[in-house]
Amino acid sequence: MAENNVKAYISELVRRAKIAQKEFERTATDQLTIDKVVRAVGKTIYDNREELARDACEETKYGTVQMKINKILASTPGQWNVMRGKKSVGYIENLRDEPGVKVMAKPMGVVGCVMPSTNPIVTIGANGMMAIKCRNACIIAPHPSAKNVSLKTVNMIRKEIEALGAPADLIQVIDPEHCSIQATDEMLRQCDVNIATGGPGMVKAVYSCGRPGFGVGQGNCQEILCDDYDNLDYMAGAIVANRSYDYGVPCVSEQTIHVPAAREGDFLKAMQAAGAFLLEDPDTIQKLREVVFPDGEHISRDVVGRSPQVVGRMIGVEVPEDRRILLCKYTGCAQDDVLSKEILFPLARYVTYTDFKATVAAAVANLEQEGAGHNSCIWTHDEEKIEYAAHLLPVSRFQVNQTPAGINNGLPSTPTLGCGTWGNNSISENLEWYHLMNTTRVTVTLPNKRLWKDGDWDRFDECPVTED
């Protein structure tokens, strides 16, 4: 497609988005009106989950239909419950120590949303809900391998929000005919702010396009088992359930598990009872390296989102149908072994250790090679070990006695995990709706002038503001 045609096509989408956004900003002045439209975005996906999950699997060839249904069941209501009723119009709560300052919520404009092939449906829903919550419009740039199901999803949403009286063009999608890297790049240049949920290349594109952006870094979750943790059966069941989820494509899947050497036998027994298939033969594990990373660096697309049985046949191993993940041991870390990288199918690797601080250092090295800023977890009741690992691991989320995907905690639901400067991201927390909000600070004259004194320089405790 000619460059001029791509630019003209994207310009038309942006023009329509701006008109819709301004209309919604003008007419949606109460929270209930806004939230009804937000609800419609998520509930449309929820209500059509079986059809959309099937279409996503058929088109992308990643994961399973049931797992994608389960993902929708968990994620879309979770997203809705995070934001329903929260103020995103008019005056909102001022969370800073600013006397005489009121904060007014404003839209950012048009949000460009780059979608991953591994999680297209839920991400469309979440980004659409977050954008519209702050009275923005959004344009979806699908991954080429999910362009048709993305179009269907967006068209379903457009119909439902239009029925509520909102402009359909609050959400648009680059259609299959125009879906391309060139069209996505042009969208990034023309939108007011962008979100990238995808690989490092796409995140880099978002931050280099000349517009503000939010990106997610790469996952390579490290999981540390400590010698005091006493419920291996529970842990193993949680690991296998999470690592097998949607055939291992979620970025919050555990990658390397650090196991005390004295507990290796018990660990393996629990993992196998939970559904893991242990690869022990060194030649088989070397074949695994070669199949998964044929060039020694980049993962083969042939294994992404494939079952343990399919990958097993690729390496010459028959894996019983009741086995949910593959499991193998390796001894290197970071650059010493390619198996320390992120792998997007149901394979867990483990290493053994005798020194806790040394294994934390190995986990840090793995993350610094790939996945810094993302997520890791620890299984222990030892507060000193929790604090030590949390202090050193370069991650934005560190979960205790949960898998990296654990949801029974206070973190808000999101499909986009900001990884801070570790992952070349602008935020080190879960991306939420309030990140897509401009604010106006309305100030009044204070009754007394705020004065600071020379003596304040000699104080090291918290210094209160002096008002004379």
**Which are the catalytic amino acids?**
251
Dihedral sign for Cα atoms in the order 96, 102, 104, 108: negative
The closest of 166, 168, 199 to 181, measured between CA atoms, is 199
- The CA distances from residue 134 to 46, 75, 138, 156, in Å, are 21, 20, 11, 21
CB-based contact 40:157 (threshold 8 Å): yes
Structure tokens at 195: 């979100």
Structure tokens at 98: 């600013």
DSSP string, 302-315: TTTT--HHHHHHHT
Give the pairing of strands 171-173 and 137-141.
parallel
The closest of 290, 330, 325 to 310, measured between CA atoms, is 325
Question: Which amino acid makes up residue 50?
Answer: E
Query: What is the three-class DSSP state of 456?
Result: helix
Query: What is the three-class DSSP state of 399?
Result: strand
Residues 417 and 373: their CA atoms lie apart, in Å, by: 9
Residues 406 and 375: their CA atoms lie apart, in Å, by: 11
CB-based contact 168:139 (threshold 8 Å): no
Give the distance, in angstroms, between the CA of residue 458 and the centroid of all CA atoms in the same chain.
45
The crossing angle, in degrees rounded to 10, of helices 147-163 and 31-47 is 140
The closest of 264, 263, 255 to 222, measured between CA atoms, is 255
End-to-end Cα, the chain, rounded Å: 68
Structure tokens at 329: 């041991």
Taking the CA atoms of residue 350, residue 355, residue 356 and residue 361 in that order, the dihedral angle to the nearest 10 degrees is -80
